Structures are given as structure tokens and as C-alpha cells.
Structure 1
Amino acid sequence: MADNPVTTGDFVQDYSSLSQEERRNMLIKQLLARYPARDSDPAFPNNPTVPSSSLASSTSESQDAADERIGNIHWCLCQGCLPMPTRGESVCCREIDEVQGCIPEGRKCITEADLFCSQIATEEHVRLMFTVLYLEGRPFVDPDNNRRLRKTAYRTFIAWIYGFLGKRKRRVIPSCAVKIVRQIFPDPNRTYVGLLYSDDYDASEMAFH
């Protein structure tokens, strides 16, 4: 069954007939149309800058430490992690106090917990949670669905470990849990967004994360 038509001014298009790139461009155009061009924005006539000299010393020291974990799993304590592209995502379940507290006694990894197996690593339950959370009727043949399902699984994990956090409050999901979710709901092109904070991308991109 086709989605409801998307209306933009006098333009009406059957949403389901658009490619992913066409949908993306349409949404970006709608978002940008709500804001004035930066050239005419009086809020920040002169963007503040930081002298490069003040960044050099702090950047060189922190960069070396940050890169130590990228591309390897020597930091993994549960033997279930996978290499991650950023330092922030390169975290094992045994390095996060709240997550470690939920690892069953005698087990090595959070992915061995009964609740993780039944609620997060079970495709049928994640699909049900997706429907409950978003109340969307889009068909599961939509190529975007696995991305939505991964997001649902991650939200379920966060709710289990931390409870309700509210908007703009994010927590890192350990690499081992991310690995299992990606195995169940893989991206066909193996392209994953990863952990993003609100200032990691342009405002026009926020609708996609």
C-alpha cells in the first residue's frame, strides 16, 4: 500500500515513488526554506575564530590519545566488540558502570543478558517496538527500514540501561551491543551513521538522525 502523498506548496508527489536521494533533497529544501540565508542573518555578522596557536598544543596531545582505540579492539574486555571509527564509540560494555551493572553474574558481555537477547537482539520484538514508538505504516520493503529498526533497538537499549533521558541527552552504546544490532539489521552498503551529537552536523541534516 502506497504512503500518503507528500505536499509541498502546489507540488504533490507520491512519496513512495521517490528514491532515497530525492526524498533527502526534498526534505533539505523544505528545511532550508524556513531559515534566512546566512549572508542576511544579523545574528552573527562576524563568526568568532580561535587562533590556531592556541589549538596546536591541546590538539596534538589529545589526538594521539584519541587515535589509540580507532581501528582496533585491544581495549575490549568482553571479547565481543568490533573496531569503531571514532574514539567516542570505541567503548566496551565493561567500561561503562551502568552497563556493567546489568551484565549477569558469570557472564562476560552485556549481549549475554537475557533481556538483551529477548528485547534487543530479537527481530520480531524490535519491529513491534518500532510500530509502538513511531506508529508508522510504511511497508518493511522500504530500504530505510533497517536504519529505523537499528535506531529502535538502540533506543530500547538506552531505555533499559538508563531509563528516560529526554531530548538532547545521548549515551554511548557499547561496541559489542552495536555489533549485534548491525548483524540483525544490516545496512546493504555497510554504511552506518554512528554516534552523533546535535553539534556534529548541520541543522539541515538533523531530520535524518
Structure 2
Amino acid sequence: MENTEVATGSVSRSYSSLTQEARRNLLIEQLLARYPAPEHDRAFPNNPKIPKSDDSRSSQLQETPDDRIGNTHWCLCECCLAMATQIESICCREIQEVEGCIPEGNKCITNADMFISQIATAEHVRLTFMTMHLDDLPVVDANNNRRLRKTAYRTFFAWIYGFLGKGNRRVIPSCAVEVVREVFPDPMGSYVGLLYSDDYDASEMAFH
């Protein structure tokens, strides 16, 4: 018993006298002695490999950043407009919440009665705009169509998503944007497009 205690004490003293690097090497040796070398470990005789997929969706995810810009080959409803940015180049049938509102037997969200009556009807959008600005009556000027477009987009958001809250943006499908621009055109054909909360002044809305 006494011999065991002496031996243990001498081991402790010798270990404490080792440098940090020597202690590290000693620990590594002890760990390697406990576990078999990789060539003797039969848990994974072959390294697992990720199977290749032929799913068409996988190819869509590998699209180059600008391959939708300037064309509509991605459009599924046959009503989309070629957009200036990749993120805006999206069809109504690619957004789950929007696709769920497309009437049965129709291809595009712009054919929905709600869209036609509440978003694509100029008189209703003007009335909505006036209702939103009862405290400060709207000024009819060269930029009024810009304000009406934003009102139409807000109505679209409310219809599809309900209340989103500040800074929580969604992309409006190109086909819907096309109709709104036709109803409330910019005289110069100048449209800013989608902006996120970090891209514009806090007093402005996401769409122009």
C-alpha cells in the first residue's frame, strides 16, 4: 500500500514537471492507445458520399445570379414581365402563398376576382388611398400614380399575407407588378422596383 502511494506521488510530480507541449503529446499518445487506428475501425469502411440528384429543382437552385434578368423563360403563368433584377423575376406560381389564391382553372393570380376588383381597378385603389390618408388629403400631382402603385401593392400584401409589420418585405410576382404598372403607369417609364428596409428612407415604402 505504501509503495503504491509513493509510486502515484512520483508520477504526479513527474507529470507536473513536464512542459505544456510535453503534456499535450502525452495526452495524444494515451488517446491513440485507447482507440484503434482508422484502418482498423470498421464503423465506416467507406466514407459516405452524397448521392447525385437529377431533380429539376436542384438545377433551378444552381442558376447563375442573372439568368432571369431580361427574359421570362421562368414564367409559369404566361403573364410575367421581364424584370430588372433577379429577385423581382418571380412568377405568381412560384410563391406558395400566392399560388394558393389563384382560382381553380386559371394560371395567373391576376385572374382572381379579388385582384381584379381591389388591385387592378383604379377607382377602388384611389378610394383606398384616400381612406389611408384622411388626416392629410392626397395631393394630385405628377407623382400621384407612384403613390397609387404603392397603395395597390400594399393591398396585394394585405390580401395574400395579412399583416406583415415594418421591415418585413415580400416580393410581388412580376405578373401582378405588370398589371399595376399598366393601371398606374409612370409617364417616363421609370420604376424603382423592390427595395428592402435597409435600401430606402424609413418614410418611404418598399415599392415605387
CA deviation string 1:68-88 (max 9, x = no partner): 000100000000000001111
CA, structure 1 residues 200+138, in 2 after alignment: closer, same or farther (shift >3 Å)? closer
Unmatched 5+ stretches in structure 2: 1-60
Unmatched 5+ stretches in structure 1: 1-61
* Residue 162 of structure 2 corresponds to residue 163 of structure 1: yes
* Residue 206 of structure 2 corresponds to residue 207 of structure 1: no
- Give the Cα–Cα distance (whole angstroms) in 2 for the partners of residues 196 and 113 of structure 1: 26
CA deviation string 1:100-141 (max 9, x = no partner): 00000000100000000000000000001001112232342x
- Give the Cα–Cα distance (whole angstroms) in 2 for the partners of residues 138 and 114 of structure 1: 27
Letter in 1 for 2:175: C
- Give the Cα–Cα distance (whole angstroms) in 2 for the partners of residues 101 and 138 of structure 1: 34
| Superposition RMSD in Å | 1.7
Equivalent residue runs for 1:91-170 within 5 Å: 91-135=90-134, 136-140=136-140, 142-170=141-169
* Residue 81 of structure 2 corresponds to residue 82 of structure 1: yes
Partner of 2:37: none
- Give the Cα–Cα distance (whole angstroms) in 2 for the partners of residues 119 and 64 of structure 1: 35
Partner of 2:49: none
TM-score by length of 1: 0.66
Letter in 1 for 2:173: P
Identity of aligned residues (%): 67
Partner of 1:31: none
Q: 1:63, CA displacement in angstroms? A: 11
CA, structure 1 residues 133+63, in 2 after alignment: closer, same or farther (shift >3 Å)? farther
TM-score by length of 2: 0.66
Letter in 2 for 1:171: R
User: Radius of gyration: which is bigger?
Assistant: 2
Secondary structure of the 2:151 match is helix
Letter in 1 for 2:138: R
Does the 8 A contact of 2:130 with 2:138 survive in 1?
A: no
Q: 1:183, CA displacement in angstroms? A: 0.2
- Give the Cα–Cα distance (whole angstroms) in 1 for the partners of residues 63 and 108 of structure 2: 28
- Give the Cα–Cα distance (whole angstroms) in 2 for the partners of residues 65 and 126 of structure 1: 37
Letter in 2 for 1:108: K
Secondary structure of the 1:66 match is coil
- Give the Cα–Cα distance (whole angstroms) in 2 for the partners of residues 198 and 103 of structure 1: 28
CA deviation string 1:28-85 (max 9, x = no partner): xxxxxxxxxxxxxxxxxxxxxxxxxxxxxxxxxx997120000100000000000001
